[in-house]
Chains A and B, each alone.
Chain A
Amino acid sequence: MSKLVIVTGASRGLGLAICRQLLQADYSVLALARTQSKELTQLQQHGLHFYAADLSELDKIPTLCSELTKQYGRPYALINNAAVGYDGVLATMHNTEINSLLNLNIQAPILLSKYLLRPMLLNQSGRIVNISSIIARTGFNGLSVYAASKAALEGFTKSLAREVGKAGITVNCVAPGYMQTEMTSSLQGDKLESVKRRSPLGRLATPDDAASAVLYLLSEQAAAITGTTITVDAGSTA
């Protein structure tokens, strides 16, 4: 029986690329998103399971996890990919936006990890991969709250790795650089060219590049890797 992997924020961008590669590698994929995209519907024909969930509703996460485990069985892995990235200076960012960003980017992954690592504990095996960003460590004008959420995710990853390692569960981060996805669509023109120029490889990392790092962390070959961050940024932070 193929291993079940739960992917959040699966409807587009990196989440979608992860789902595609997981299906190609014969994992059983349970995709979570608020709404179903055309691309996800197509992947359903290849065996992907879709479950509609709004992870900003934190109170519903315990019940959601319980339903997922009941319906689909104990997961092998959780990919915490869902996130929002509001662009704007802190001084004028609305408090409700700060709140909703922190809820979705850090509280939701913590709660999903809490409830979905329980079945992993019973299996004495599992993988959690948190999608961070190079912004957690480099900083970027207008993304201070987003950066705080990603840095928090990396701190969470290291401590949780220590907590659950004994049970055969690894916890890691993948930190992509700028990728051309809908989330970074505001990065255009000169700014985009400047990011490309600074990269030693002369290009941006793609969602498929980052998805490959996730797949590697799920593999048997990565069994000894935990509590770390794999950066996939075409070398731009080198």
Chain B
Amino acid sequence: MELEHTIRQTLEQVAMIANCQLIDNITDDTVLLQSGLDSLGFAMLVAQLEEDLGIDPFSQMQIAVYPRTFAEFVSVYRQALAGGNQNQ
């Protein structure tokens, strides 16, 4: 839950910097592309999380992975932090 909270907070923070308007209620099933954050905003989210958590799971993976929903995005970070990234 703590990780999800961090990601939510960071999402709001970068949305503000990137001048993007997030939708009101982001749930596990929210499709990332419909969250209100644009593609550059997602790059900022990954960059800020790398600074805060010290990991960039997408660069660590051997294959390209694009999470579709918010829950999938959180799951990628959860797996990477647990050292259990199955794509490595």
Contact = CB atoms under 8 A, between A and B. Distances in A.
Contacts of A167: 18, 40, 44
Q: Decide if the interface of chain B is mainly helix, strand, loop or mixed.
A: helix
A118 B43 CA distance: 7
A118 B59 contact: no
A1 interface: no
Interface residues of B, number: 13
Of residues A118, A124, A163, A166, which shows the largest number of chain B Cβ atoms within 10 Å of its Cβ? A118
Contacts of B15: none
Interface in A118-173: 118-119, 121-122, 124, 163-164, 166-167
Contacts, number: 30
Give chain A's interface residue range (CB within 8 Å of chain B).
10 to 19
B51 A122 contact: yes
B44 A163 contact: no
A124 B16 CA distance: 12
B46 interface: yes
A62 B40 contact: no
B40 A164 contact: yes
29 contacts: A62-B56, A62-B59, A66-B50, A66-B56, A69-B51, A115-B59, A118-B43, A118-B44, A118-B46, A118-B47, A119-B47, A119-B51, A121-B40, A121-B43, A121-B44, A121-B47, A122-B14, A122-B17, A122-B44, A122-B47, A122-B48, A122-B51, A124-B17, A163-B40, A164-B40, A166-B40, A167-B18, A167-B40, A167-B44
